[in-house]
Chains A and B, each alone.
Chain A
């Protein structure tokens, strides 16, 4: 990887290179010290004793973890299944020719974006007394669906004007223009942003932990708070965190791969610009006007 932003400094000469090497050594030493301290603390607080790792040998504990992982993926699956149509519907609403529909869709989308997901999840769970799984899915669909609606809308608006005008000139009706011309191009260009938003949804399934949905983190907590295994908290984190982060990383990489692929693809040339992949907090940059 070369340094991207060369607006910051010139190509370094021999003296600067030597200086950078020195800084590099110092930084390396500091990072090594940090990692060393963590490893030392792990051993110092006896995290690698047999008793703390013993639970992972048991069939029941393994099943518990797998069931938790399954529940996490189930919540994620339902979220994707409902959030995509929700997003499409409200994006269409926001692009509608009818003022009332437009206002209503805008209101819904803006409201659910301004609300913390957790408030919606708790509202559905506590006030409407829904089962944890569906409370979680409902909250995630409302939030991620609203963000996806903005992503879809931005995608449709980013298709060059000529495409739309040409389609109308061919005598297509507005629904045809949308379904045959604008949406196929927009969805292709927006695919990286859509997948990146799904990473957010996957991450947020862990909020189910807070409403006692029996997902992955919940299973981890059950094991971690077991006195019989000497409260194996750190071992549980060492097992759970890489799986969680690994799943999200895989999905993020998929988004990046799709982005690179569609940038190369000749069929998007001259169409809407391909959105950048990248997990965002809040509205992804590609959906901001």
Chain B
């Protein structure tokens, strides 16, 4: 601490060390938050349901997604990434996940929303197993913090079934 340069260096390194500790504590403080998000999805219409020339089934749905994700926002949350996936089982794969819609929620004010949309990405099966298929719609989310650990979780919504016939 005898010269200007040594004092400046000591202050800089010590302040950055403390900053790292503060950010770590900020990240750890997210563990005290236990989010209770709610979500509902209605399948309003099946716009078309067909077999593509290459033999894969494809569905187009009209969805009404409503969700309240405000409880997952803490002081350390930068944004949420949310996506809605259709999940079902086929003889070939135990779990098929098809992303139908996604979105980025930038702030807590935007975290309570409802949206009326057709599926943003194609709902296509690997094969032709979709007729009369039961599927879940699962809302997955990834909470992106300002510093530290990323959290992810999901809500599984059951009880959807595709029609027996193409249309």
B is a partner of A: no
